[in-house]
Structure 1
Amino acid sequence: MAGEWKAPKFGSPVWLGISASNVPRAREFYAKVFDWTFKQHSTQPDDPEKLAMFDFNPGVSLSGGIQKAPESTGVLQPGGAGVVIYWLVEDLDKSAAAIEAAGGSMLSGPEKEGESGMYRYFKDTEGTTGGIYQILSSCAN
């Protein structure tokens, strides 16, 4: 047995999101180009129009998915983010306040990710889109 799962350290990159307007088309692209395989989401039913999850090679703890991004974030606009790295935070609201205090801006409100966590999109001082992710307390043990 590999042992009990432990949450990564605060500030660790935990998810790489590839934004797509057409998730099935993007999934086919990455499968053909990089020979990626995709997996079922562990906490919510797989909606192939909204999410296609993948893992990198064994030993790489970062996972990700091709995901339908909310239009309100601007991620899918020309010059939008394309790829978003999600950073683990202890509290979405406190981290959102810290982002804004440091000169960034929040692009979305909290979004629930199954039963596992919550996330929000932000823009840093250079215009780069990122995500913050909080593990729900029921999953952190």
Structure 2
Amino acid sequence: MADQSGHFVWYELLTTDVPSAAAFYAEVVGWTAKDASSPELAYTLLTTGGAPVVGLMNLPEEGVRMGATPRWLGYVAVDDMDVMIAQIRRLGGTILVSPTDSNIGRIAVVADPQGATFGLVTGLTHGQSQPGGSDQPGRVGWHELLAEDRRRIFPFYRELLGWQQADAGSDPADVYDMFSVAGQTIGGMLTKLPSVSQTCWLHYFNVEDVGAAARRVDAGGGRVLQGPIELPDDCWIVRCVDPQGALFTLQGAWDRKGIERSSASEVSWSARWGDIASQGRIVRDKTRR
């Protein structure tokens, strides 16, 4: 996996209702559901063009008892799991699930020093065979960290995963830092507002038409929390929550046929994100007339 090291290569939704979630995302994003269960684990793949993109599984009962809620988990490819685990401990991170063999490869679930969770994987059996294709519909096109302090957390990821700041010459007043691996910009980091309850990674799913997909979110029982917001290059985003409570974002073109302005004020973490866009630009929310 040397060509993948440091890239997000797999994504899992831990949810309380796998069949309903699979139907929701199939309708919203256009994925096709495929059962990939084993005697040990109930597991659903969502595919695009026949290629697996994400997996769905039940949120473990122990996690539910401890207060865990449905969420998306992104896995980063690493070459040597044992070395990574030792480095995470040395750098102040936390091991939530120790290295173990799973249906997608050898995995671990960890948290950075500010509490944001992500996965590590070696020997991936599903997902992208190599980095790329992230701009295609049905793929995961962007990764965003809502951190306690983006400036203080970046060195952790730089030393652990080899990420580099993609906009190192940007204005110090900027509120968003983009990062790259092997020359490819794959995401950004921002310092969350106090209204955001906890640090987290947010993953962006590509769709052909953000307006139409947002209407499907509402029709399927989810909610649009914020947007549509215009980014550079005619890209638009909407931040959403699925019917079980997992956060995600859609990005793509917008047909401008006017989804209703979302009631973002109902959701504290999104209501005060203001006009911070995912490409490090300050833009105007086109629903604000």
Superposition TM-score tier, normalisation by shorter sequence:
0.5 to 0.7
Hey, which bits of structure 1, 4+ residues long, moved more than 6 A? none
The answer to whether residue 72 in structure 2 is matched with residue 77 in structure 1 is: no
2:14, 2:57 within 8 Å by CA — same for their partners in 1? Answer: yes
TM-score of the superposition, structure 1-length normalised?
Answer: 0.68
Pairwise CA distance, 1:7:
6.1
Structure 1 match to 2:33: 38
The alignment yields a C-alpha RMSD, in angstroms, of 3.1
Structure 2 match to 1:130: 118
Residue identity matched to 2:45: M
SS in 2 for 1:127: coil
Structure 1 match to 2:228: none
Structure 2 match to 1:50: 42
CA 32–77 in structure 1, closer or farther in 2 if over 3 Å, else same: farther
Structure 1 match to 2:98: 109
CA 121–73 in structure 1, closer or farther in 2 if over 3 Å, else same: farther
Structure 2 match to 1:18: 13
**Bigger fraction of residues in strand:** 2
CA distance in 2, matches of 1:72, 1:25: 21
CA distance in 2, matches of 1:71, 1:91: 30
Pairwise CA distance, 1:111:
2.8
* Bigger radius of gyration among the two: 2
SS in 1 for 2:31: coil
SS in 2 for 1:107: strand
Percent sequence identity over matched residues? 27
Q: Work out which of the residue numbers 80, 91, 107 in structure 1 matches 2:80.
A: 91
SS in 2 for 1:17: strand
1:18, 1:82 within 8 Å by CA — same for their partners in 2? Answer: yes
Kindly indicate whether structure 1 or structure 2 has the higher relative contact order, using CA contacts under 8 Å at least 6 residues apart.
1
- Give unpaired runs (5+ residues) of structure 2: 125-289
* Matched pairs, number: 122
SS in 1 for 2:97: coil
SS in 1 for 2:98: coil
TM-score of the superposition, structure 2-length normalised?
Answer: 0.36
2:16, 2:70 within 8 Å by CA — same for their partners in 1? Answer: no
SS in 1 for 2:76: strand
CA distance in 1, matches of 2:123, 2:5: 11
SS in 1 for 2:57: strand
- Give unpaired runs (5+ residues) of structure 1: 1-5, 137-141
CA distance in 2, matches of 1:90, 1:101: 18
Residue identity matched to 2:73: V
Structure 2 match to 1:139: none
Pairwise CA distance, 1:122:
0.5
Pairwise CA distance, 1:102:
1.2
